Amino acid sequence: MKQAVFIERDGVLNQVRVERQHQVSPLTLEEFHPEQKAVSEIKRLKAGGLVVIATTNQPGLSRGYQSRRELDRMHALLRRTFDLDDLLVCPHDETDRCPCRKPKPGLLVEAAFTWHLDLDRSFVISDKWQDAEAARAAGCTSLLVQSPWVRTGHRDFVLPDLASIVDKILGLKGATRVMAA
């Protein structure tokens, strides 16, 4: 069974605008800016033998303000920039009560099935509590970049930046049992 790193898209792999203390997802290719300083960090994870999978909630698909075609163009750019193994999208609105909208763990569980992953030995990187909660529910270790969206729920590590998180994952990767800090 393989080990994976699940990475939240908005705020980690691409830049986001912040309005009234909320992150605003880009809706067009013109607004979509991959985070260039993350490129070398994702390469280090791949070189460490981890399956790298981006995950994202995009309720705009269900609510009608995000076009599928434009999302596909953004995601083609994301895949070219980061050499991702997979990219999983929850297209639903909260009111759809789907199993995949984070903080629910559906995207992680789906990926585990597709990629033959050991979720107990896999990792989640994000700047938001919803991903830490999905990680907890799926049995993954969560590592959050310090941000206004970390809040106070369960998480395994909060670190200042992506480089520190990648260092931590590569250090933990071989360990048989992950101890929270």
Residue 69 structure tokens = 């075609």
Q: Is 27 in the site for Zn ion (CB under 5 A)?
A: no
Maximum pairwise Cα distance, the chain: 45
How many residues are there in the chain? 181
Q: Which of residues 74, 100, 111, 117 is near Zn ion by CB under 5 A?
A: 100
Q: Is 104 in the site for Zn ion (CB under 5 A)?
A: no
Q: Is 84 in the site for Zn ion (CB under 5 A)?
A: no
Q: Which stretch binds Zn ion (CB under 5 A): 5-13, 29-37, 82-90, 133-141?
A: 82-90
For 134-140, the CB contacts below 8 A with 24+ separation are: 134/102, 134/103, 134/104, 134/105, 134/107, 134/108, 135/6, 135/105, 135/108, 137/103, 137/104, 137/105, 138/105, 138/108, 138/109, 138/112, 140/6, 140/108
Q: Is 75 in the site for Zn ion (CB under 5 A)?
A: no
- Give whichever of 38 and 109 is closer to Zn ion, judged by the CB atom: 109
Q: Is 102 in the site for Zn ion (CB under 5 A)?
A: no
Minimum gap (Å) between residue 98 Cβ and Zn ion: 3
Q: Which stretch binds Zn ion (CB under 5 A): 17-25, 94-102, 127-135, 140-148?
A: 94-102
CB atoms within 10 A of CB 78: 18
- Give whichever of 96 and 161 is closer to Zn ion, judged by the CB atom: 96
Minimum gap (Å) between residue 69 Cβ and Zn ion: 20
Helices (H), the chain: 39-47, 60-63, 68-82, 106-115, 129-138, 162-172
- Give whichever of 101 and 168 is closer to Zn ion, judged by the CB atom: 101
Q: Is 101 in the site for Zn ion (CB under 5 A)?
A: yes
Residues in the site for Zn ion, rule: CB under 5 A? Answer: 90, 92, 98, 100-101
